[in-house]
Structure 1
Amino acid sequence: MPRPAEPGRNALLDAGAEIAGRTGLRGLSVNAVVAAAGMAKGTFYHHFPDRRSYVVALHRRYHEELAATILAAVGDRAPGRDRLRVGLTAYLDGCLRTRGTKAFLAQSRTDTDLLDEVNARNLAFAQVIAPDLAALGWPDPAAVAHLVIAMAAEAALAELYAAAPRPDLRAALTALIERDQSGCGAG
């Protein structure tokens, strides 16, 4: 059973985030993590039973910090256009400045150890924005939210590769979401 968060555990997670930012998930070996943290290998196993549980913890921490940033940005705004725009901007800005974004947005999609985590996180974010999409008139906000999450992740990766915000992608994402929904869903 892993120990609760404490300085040693956090130091290992910090080291992993730094390594993931430089080399991706494939460079995230136990040896590399303990070397970067300046700790003995045995210390790693006091906090994490194996590499898989460590990578899952690292992924969760990345997304929890990103979610906290988004929730702080949207504050108590009512569901709708403004909240959705502010949340998407906070997400994209957060991805640009957070270590390990490429590893946790792109590489985690193909890491079998993280597939369940990725799906759960995408579902959680989709549930957060579904009320915004309902307020905008989308007939199936849950399905649209799933697609918006995928589009936002793709925009985040494009910005990461450009090392700067992509106003064109941000504007296109917003325009697609806010289009008139009056004809949607009609067979």
Structure 2
Amino acid sequence: MPRPAEPGRNALLNAGEQVAQDRGLRGLSINAVVEVAGMAKGSFYHHFPDRRSYVIALHRRYHDALAELITARIGDIAPGVERIRAGITAYLDACLETRGTKAFLAQSRTDTDLLDEVSARNRDFAGVVEGDLAGLGWPDPGAVAQLMVAMVAEIALVELYDNGPRADLRAAVMDLIDREGERGR
């Protein structure tokens, strides 16, 4: 009877998070991953055909966890400013607490293997907020949602490099949403 693939796959992905945290995406070699996982190199290829598919799986796993956390945090909050605030706060807090964030936010912007993934995730997060912005009276809420995702991602990077929350930047993005939405009403 064949063994299930998940324990090995998960061990490799966990190891990849650690390597990404310690060495960044550029240091995320197959050799480094299997060394940290304590597995043979052949095990890697049993689960992933190549480094590219592995990095994509790691990126998806990271963002799936973020999306799950944000969804739980916004829960039953009615669409609007408070839900946007809760979602932004959840995202920024999770970025500070999650292993590998710097690699998956900063370095993935320039990793050609991940450009499509980054764009897709940004569209997904913008899609979550678009209805809230429409309800607040924003003209072209889709475009505003896309810009808001970019602003929040930039705040996450600044906070990572500053090693902590930036209350001024968080307040500024919330203030922009509140004030500009009111103008559209």
Alpha-carbon deviation of 1:18? 0.7
Q: Which runs of 4+ in 1 moved over 6 A?
A: none
Partner of 1:132: 132
Structure-2 change in CA distance of 1:25 and 1:130 (3 Å): same
AA partner of residue 32 (structure 1): A
Alpha-carbon deviation of 1:4? 7.8
% same residue: 70
TM-score, normalization: structure 2? Answer: 0.95
Q: Matches of 1:4 and 1:110 in 2, distance apart?
A: 35
Q: Matches of 2:181 and 2:67 in 1, distance apart?
A: 28
Alpha-carbon deviation of 1:180? 3.6
Question: C-alpha deviations, 1:30-69, integer Å up to 9, x for none?
Answer: 0000000000000000000000000000000000000000
Match runs of 1:139-178 below 5 Å = 139-178=139-178
Question: C-alpha deviations, 1:66-86, integer Å up to 9, x for none?
Answer: 000000000021110110000
Partner of 2:33: 33
Question: C-alpha deviations, 1:128-186, integer Å up to 9, x for none?
Answer: 010111122111110000000000000001111111111000000101111144656xx
Q: Matches of 2:4 and 2:76 in 1, distance apart?
A: 31
Tell me the matched-pair count.
182
Unaligned runs of 5+ in 1: none
Structure-2 change in CA distance of 1:148 and 1:4 (3 Å): farther
CA contact under 8 A between 2:133 and 2:181: conserved in structure 1?
no
